[in-house]
Structure 1
Amino acid sequence: MTNALTDMLAARFAVAPLRIGTRTSVLARVQAEHVAMLVSKHAPGIPVEIVPTQVSADLWPGDLSELGGKGAFSKEIDRALISAQVDIAVHCMKDVPGDVPLAEGTAFGAYLPRDDVHDVVITRDGTPLADLPTGSLIGTSSVRRRAQLSIYRPDLRTERIRGNIDTRLAKLDEPDSRYTALILAHAGLSRLDILDRHHEVLPIDFHPSGEGAMSMVPAVGAGVLGVQARQADTPVMRLLDELNHPATARHILAERTMLHMLHGHCNSPIAGYASTTADGQLSLYGMVFNRDGSQFVRSHAWGDVDDPATLGCRVAADLLHQGARRLITATRT
């Protein structure tokens, strides 16, 4: 970091700390503390304060679409950011909707290096997903996970289970629990340091039903923390540029361009995963499902690592050509 930026930040936060807006869950606080650590590392001497904000989505037990979709995870924090009650906001990118513009005057200044994108199956005794008895109840709030699970194990039942990770695990652990297993994100469990539980990592490479093991293609933005700020706050935006991980930023741009073009909403079973290949190309894999996974379209393309938006457009266009719009529209009803 340059001396000029150091001086700029020292002046900006001479009388008040840099305030980090986040949700109130244990996981959200851990993620905000990680960002606080990075800020302190890159800008030592700058005071930092974490400001937890209760968001409506964390209080709502029902379908997110009734609250307006995934935007319910961030609207209260957005208001705090716009009104300068906080200076930056930390978000899991998989929870940032693709069909709702960012709060006016704000932008993501940093994407942190991507964590593990896999989903995992958590059981009480370590029984593999393939061996769970017919009719077993699987807890997951993700339509993407439910659709893909139905491709491989249509004999299993699923039920929406809301709440923070610790709340969901507690429901699984109840002596008379109705749930046989949960499907959760590896990244969240790792950040909370609770991967010591019985779990099965689901591969991300898609295999048609009957042609391979169960797989679970990730959500758009899986494993990535984004840090949002007011664009007019030059010192903070320059600081976030120091924290930004360029490869992750390229991957997120490809995935979210695809998501934006698909006009996906919170009940759209959409999967998307971008990565950089060994030979330096940008790879993007996209899938769109109906609710039960009985119909889906998929696309995989490669492109210039310096032009992720074009790759996102190409994959989205291919999915739409195959009928993705019909599948997405059907999930609105």
Structure 2
Amino acid sequence: MTVLKVGTRGSALAMAQCGALAERFDAEVALVPITTQGDTDRSSLQQIGGTGVFVSALRDALLDGRVDVAVHSLKDLPTTPAPGIELVAVSKREDARDALCARDGLAFADLPQGARVGTGSPRRMAQLRVARPDLEVVDIRGNVPTRLARAQGDDADLDAVVLALAGLKRLGLDDRATDILSLVDFPTAPGQGALAVEIRDGDGATRAAVVKTDHAATRAAVDAERRVLAGLEAGCSAPVAAHAEVADGMLFLTGIAYATDGSTRLSASHAFTLDSTKPADLAEAARDVAERAVAELLEGGAADLVHEARA
């Protein structure tokens, strides 16, 4: 049997989530760790740009044949299609919420005045400042264990860090969460909690081996979310949140743009009644709700917020 070479970032989280997904492929697989710019450059995401820094090296490996499949955290995937590459599957989403991991078991509301909270995400920075202007938000980078140690290690220098709950669960570290942050106050990054499976265009054999991992409802939801990013011309590191879900015969979407300092928050929520859950109907729903949300956000001045965040 031909072994399918599956490319992934080499972090413990990336290897764990890719390995779990690859078990469902209809092929024998070998994981191939690939080092990306985001793994070696410890500058803040705002400084290095964010867009593509965790993806480009994997795509290069796919195009030059070193791997047959590339698996990404979908929230890292640029919204612009890559020539020669097909997004063949989007995995069923894990819990999309963010988690607070604090010292002494503290919940978010119980953090003391002026508490130091770490995150490398401009979106999370803005949300923390909206919810608790008194907090000192600290820009941090590193893998999940490294960031956890900043708040819960022997030499901790922070009161808390904010991480994706999905990543904690995939590493078996969800018991380190001291509070789960609601999607109402902390809507997440487009695609958070889902994985993207990419192959080379025209590779029918590989497509047949991996396409079963595509989850139609998740794909529609993240398509709507990513269309908000694209419509605002915002990158993966922009202070933009979007969360969509398919439920009760409808597709619901909320998109939010923030000023990084937390001073401004623009929100738009829309829904589409589904005729069916066929891929074409789901795709139409994703386009419709995203277009309406983007139009409302742009009318409210979201483009200015995105531009200011880049400056």
TM-score bracket, shorter-length normalisation: over 0.9
Give the aligned partner of residue 106 of structure 1: 85
Give the aligned partner of residue 184 of structure 1: 163
Which whole-Å deviations, capped at 9, do the CAs of 1:218-269 have from their partners, x for residues lacking one? 1110110110111210121233322211111111111111211110024421
Which residue, 294, 299, 319 being the options, matches 2:297? 319
Structure 1, unpaired ranges of 5+? 1-13, 206-214
User: Does 143-152 or 239-248 show the bigger shift?
Assistant: 239-248
Answer yes or no: is 1:298 the counterpart of 2:279.
no
Residue identity opposite 2:17 in structure 1: Q
For 1:20 and 1:329, how far apart are their aligned partners in 2?
Answer: 36
Which whole-Å deviations, capped at 9, do the CAs of 1:261-289 have from their partners, x for residues lacking one? 110024421000111132x0111000000
Which whole-Å deviations, capped at 9, do the CAs of 1:128-159 have from their partners, x for residues lacking one? 21121212110101111111111121000011
For 2:69 and 2:177, how far apart are their aligned partners in 1?
Answer: 36
CA-CA distance at 1:198 after TM superposition: 4.5
Residue identity opposite 1:326 in structure 2: D
Q: Secondary structure at the match of 2:263?
A: coil
Q: For the Cα contact (< 8 Å) 1:64–1:266, is it kept in 2?
A: no
CA-CA distance at 1:309 after TM superposition: 1.4
Q: For the Cα contact (< 8 Å) 1:120–1:201, is it kept in 2?
A: yes
RMSD: 1.4
Which residue, 120, 128, 131 being the options, matches 2:107? 128
Give the aligned partner of residue 3 of structure 1: none
Q: For the Cα contact (< 8 Å) 2:76–2:236, is it kept in 1?
A: no
Alignment size in residue pairs: 302
Task: List structure 1 runs of 4+ shifted beyond 4 angstroms.
Answer: none
Residue identity opposite 1:24 in structure 2: G
Give the aligned partner of residue 306 of structure 2: 328
Higher-strand-fraction structure: 2
CA-CA distance at 1:64 after TM superposition: 2.5
Answer yes or no: is 1:285 the counterpart of 2:254.
yes
CA-CA distance at 1:65 after TM superposition: 4.0
Q: For the Cα contact (< 8 Å) 2:8–2:31, is it kept in 1?
A: yes
Q: Could you state the TM-score of these two structures normalised by the residue count of structure 2?
A: 0.93
Q: Secondary structure at the match of 2:125?
A: helix
Give the aligned partner of residue 258 of structure 1: 228
For 1:17 and 1:277, how far apart are their aligned partners in 2?
Answer: 38
Give the aligned partner of residue 85 of structure 1: 66
Q: Name the larger-Rg structure.
A: 1
Taking the TM superposition and a 5 Å limit, the aligned residue runs for 1:33-72 are 33-39=19-25, 43=26, 46-72=27-53
Percent identity over the alignment is: 36
Give the aligned partner of residue 216 of structure 1: 186
Give the aligned partner of residue 246 of structure 1: 216
Residue identity opposite 1:196 in structure 2: D
Answer yes or no: is 1:139 the counterpart of 2:108.
no
Question: Residues 267 and 34 of structure 1: is their aligned pair in 2 closer, same or farther, counting only changes over 3 Å?
Answer: closer
For 2:35 and 2:166, how far apart are their aligned partners in 1?
Answer: 22
Give the aligned partner of residue 8 of structure 1: none
CA-CA distance at 1:176 after TM superposition: 3.9
Residue identity opposite 1:331 in structure 2: A
Q: For the Cα contact (< 8 Å) 2:46–2:122, is it kept in 1?
A: no
Q: For the Cα contact (< 8 Å) 2:69–2:197, is it kept in 1?
A: yes
